[in-house]
Amino acid sequence: MCPGLWDSRVEAAMNKSRVETFSDGVFAIAITLLVLTIAQPIDYRDLAHQLVESWPSLAAYVVSFLVIGIMWVNHHAIFSHLREIDRGFFYWNLLLLMTIVFIPYPTEVFGEALRRGEGAETAAIFYSVTMTVNALTWSGLWLYASLNRRLLVPEFPEEQRTTSTLLFISGTAVYTVSIAIAFVSPYACLVFQGGLALYYAFDPISRRAERARRE
Amino acid sequence: MCPGLWDSRVEAAMNKSRVETFSDGVFAIAITLLVLTIAQPIDYRDLAHQLVESWPSLAAYVVSFLVIGIMWVNHHAIFSHLREIDRGFFYWNLLLLMTIVFIPYPTEVFGEALRRGEGAETAAIFYSVTMTVNALTWSGLWLYASLNRRLLVPEFPEEQRTTSTLLFISGTAVYTVSIAIAFVSPYACLVFQGGLALYYAFDPISRRAERARRE
Amino acid sequence: MCPGLWDSRVEAAMNKSRVETFSDGVFAIAITLLVLTIAQPIDYRDLAHQLVESWPSLAAYVVSFLVIGIMWVNHHAIFSHLREIDRGFFYWNLLLLMTIVFIPYPTEVFGEALRRGEGAETAAIFYSVTMTVNALTWSGLWLYASLNRRLLVPEFPEEQRTTSTLLFISGTAVYTVSIAIAFVSPYACLVFQGGLALYYAFDPISRRAERARRE
Amino acid sequence: MCPGLWDSRVEAAMNKSRVETFSDGVFAIAITLLVLTIAQPIDYRDLAHQLVESWPSLAAYVVSFLVIGIMWVNHHAIFSHLREIDRGFFYWNLLLLMTIVFIPYPTEVFGEALRRGEGAETAAIFYSVTMTVNALTWSGLWLYASLNRRLLVPEFPEEQRTTSTLLFISGTAVYTVSIAIAFVSPYACLVFQGGLALYYAFDPISRRAERARRE
């Protein structure tokens, strides 16, 4: 690698748009690799039965696909409020991508465990822990960028900053709750995860805030 | 994820070109992952025989490659007629990508079933159902964008809108027919799917319409 | 998919740069997927031995990596001489990408056959046939674009057009020879393929032509 | 492929930004494929135990993810100091990408060997040799670009050039040391590799140099 080469010229080259494009690529690949997590049938003599039985793999695929797709939108939401990025932000973003790229792994384990009817509780916990760690890195990224308005654009409203910080922290709390749900029922946990994704997709809080600001 | 951050600034950042680039990436990855669906030989002592026998895997690869490649063109066709996109369109597009990313899975199952000579009918039905669901999401995307000309550019001709809507709906119907064909013969179904891809590639209706408009 | 939507507006949107970006993505993914073709060790007790024995997998990886990387350069070489692209060119390009995306498959088979010492001749033939088909689609793409100067920029010299066409056709012939070599020795075939890649990398003919033109 | 087509027009088309975008794509895919290296559980009845036991796979994933992510930054660092690129640089870059795309393979072997407790020493050596070869290609790329200031921008300070060359060479030496550590303990080797990645992430030498230059 190349120590001694990083200076202000490099800093300029590592600008927001380049990091965003790289992250977009990682999102696009991670979301597409999800298809490899769906269990292949083994016995083709009773294929119909095998395909029907692999519905949990498919359900896990759908949930994780929505999750990563919505995260992609939200990644842009954060970037669009930033004035610039720095090295610290770059590494927080790398950590975040690391947890997102990881998602296909617990997705496969979760789907397979539900399909086999073995270890489903453990798999649901594993999936929920992954999502909680992911939520933590989102919060870290946000706090790094927004504390003392380090990287925020000047026009970003101060009260929205407070609201968003609170919502990030509560989001992490909600994902922690999903771990508890996994202990109760793996299926309930999958539904809960899907519901959370949809909640973030419709994002009623942003909508209300936007409406309030307009009035 | 990041509730409370979505506002008009984000809306602007999530513009057409960014969503198109992201979708392009997903198309490029999905089309390339298809190579992983071709059955690897197991017994290398009789390799020639094994390679010849895996021709259905190869045929399924070719058909799905054409299908995704042509869908990529058509994705641009839709985008080039849009003035802007909104959140609802974004989620329709995400749904559409979900069905496209899924294609390698039924492709692998279809090729493998034909190769083994087991479950071929079921696999053909599964492949055709996937394509029908995909056709439905295409229609949904189009209807969302074109109803009341929600997102269409002003210069898009009104009568072309009606024609396209009719053609999208008939397209879905034709894919439903492919399910029926799968019941009759899996091989006929594969040929039919390949033929449909070629039909869309040459797209005689658009050509005729274009010619009519020019005159 | 979306019949009835293709018109001059779409034609404009499907411009050279977009198709080039999409192709770049496919090249980047195909070249990276090659790593999945290297045989994983099975027995870890004698790992050193297993890793050493999988050198043919590694050699096939290196050759195919060079091949795809150099093809990427050459893809740009063609595009940089084009004024515009049309639908026919788009489909030729899609065919070409289909043969490039396919490369990891014969690469894996070739490496594995050499490693096992079984079916190596068949695998070498299979690899060489793939490369020959690939050379044919390169020639097809070039002929489509250059016949009657259909898509060429005006400043592309006429005598260079003739030379290039001849060279494309001889290139295909040389790849056909590699099939014959595969019958003699799979190892010689691998070396020959690597040598051809290096030959194209250094590309003495273009250099001489460039020098001649400068004088 | 296409001999006889490479001329100054092509040279211009193969500019820095295109090669950088292609390389970015390869980095993004290689970093995402790492998730496929994490060992899938086999026995789901004792899933919790199996997941805990696969921590070395996960640790190897984390280390390699950081390594590739930081290399991505450093790739930009080099490019941002270049005036232009030429064909020789392009092939050095291709060689570099070949060693980066390869990283998931030794990562999987390393993680798996640690998990099984078999062949761990060999796997650690293999991983370290890969990283050393990678460091060598980084040095080669840098020397090619910087010797006689072949491709450097004029404003790149001469003394920084000397420092960087020294640091590249010492970097390669440090990676060679990691091979020796692998002989002592595979775990120490993994920690050492992770530490090196962090060292390059914080890059104290560049920071000090930057500070010195500012004063």
CA distances from B126 to A69, B72, B160, B173 (A): 25, 22, 33, 16
Point out the residue among B25, B90, B123 whose CB comes nearest to the CB of A28: B25
For residue D192, how many other CB atoms are within 10 A of its CB?
A: 21
pLDDT tens digit sequence for C118-162: 999 999 999 999 999 999 999 999 999 999 999 999 999 898 899
Q: Looking at per-residue confidence, does C200 or A55 come out higher?
A: A55
Point out the residue among A72, A168, A210 whose CB comes nearest to the CB of B22: A72
Question: Across the interface, do B1 and A34 touch by the CB < 8 Å criterion?
Answer: no
Token pair 């689609």 is at which residue?
C137
- B51 pLDDT more than 80: yes
Task: Point out which residues pair with A152 in neighbouring strands.
Answer: A82
Token pair 């409370």 is at which residue?
B4
Interface of D with C (CB under 8 A): 1-10, 12-14, 18, 21-22, 25-26, 29-30, 33, 36, 90-91, 94, 97-98, 101-102, 104-105, 108-109, 112-113, 116, 118-119, 122-123, 126
Give the Cα separation of D205 and A4 in Å (integer): 6
Give the Cα separation of B178 and B133 in Å (integer): 12
pLDDT in tens, chain A (215 residues): 445 565 665 666 567 888 999 999 999 999 999 999 998 899 999 999 999 999 999 999 999 999 999 999 889 889 989 998 888 899 999 999 999 999 999 999 999 999 999 999 999 999 999 999 999 999 999 999 999 999 999 999 898 899 889 988 988 999 999 999 999 999 999 999 999 998 888 776 666 666 776 67
- Looking at beta carbons, which residues of chain A come within 8 Å of D27? 22
Strands (DSSP E) contained in chain D are none
pLDDT tens digit sequence for B180-189: 999 999 999 9
Query: Distance from B211 to chain A by nearest Cα, in Å?
Result: 38
| DSSP character at residue B185 | -
Question: CA of D125: which chain C residue's CA is closest?
Answer: C48
How many Cβ contacts (< 8 angstroms) between chains A and B? 134
Give the Cα separation of A60 and D35 in Å (integer): 17
> How would you label C134-152 residue by residue, b for 16+ Cβ within 10 Å and e otherwise?
bbbbbbebbebbbeeeebb
Kindly state the tokens that stand for D130.
């890969």
Where does the pLDDT of residue B1 fall: very low under 50, low under 70, confident under 90, or very high at 90 and above? very low
Residues 6+ apart with CB under 8 A from A46: B119
- Going by C-alpha positions, the residue among B27, B80, B203 that lies closest to residue C87 is B203
Query: Distance from B150 to chain C by nearest Cα, in Å?
Result: 16
Question: Across the interface, do C119 and B80 touch by the CB < 8 Å criterion?
Answer: no
Burial of residue B154 (number of CB atoms within 10 Å: 0-12, 13-18, 19+): exposed
How many Cβ contacts (< 8 angstroms) between chains A and D? 135
Give the Cα separation of A156 and A209 in Å (integer): 13
Give the Cα separation of D57 and D35 in Å (integer): 10
Chain-centroid distance of CA D62 in Å reads: 14
Query: Distance from A150 to chain B by nearest Cα, in Å?
Result: 17
Point out the residue among A5, A104, A116 whose CB comes nearest to the CB of D206: A5
Question: CA of D38: which chain A residue's CA is closest?
Answer: A105
Query: Distance from D98 to chain C by nearest Cα, in Å?
Result: 7
Give the Cα separation of B124 and A31 in Å (integer): 26
- Looking at beta carbons, which residues of chain A come within 8 Å of D207? 6
Question: Across the interface, do A108 and D48 touch by the CB < 8 Å criterion?
Answer: no
- Going by C-alpha positions, the residue among C10, C174, C160, C188 that lies closest to residue C85 is C10
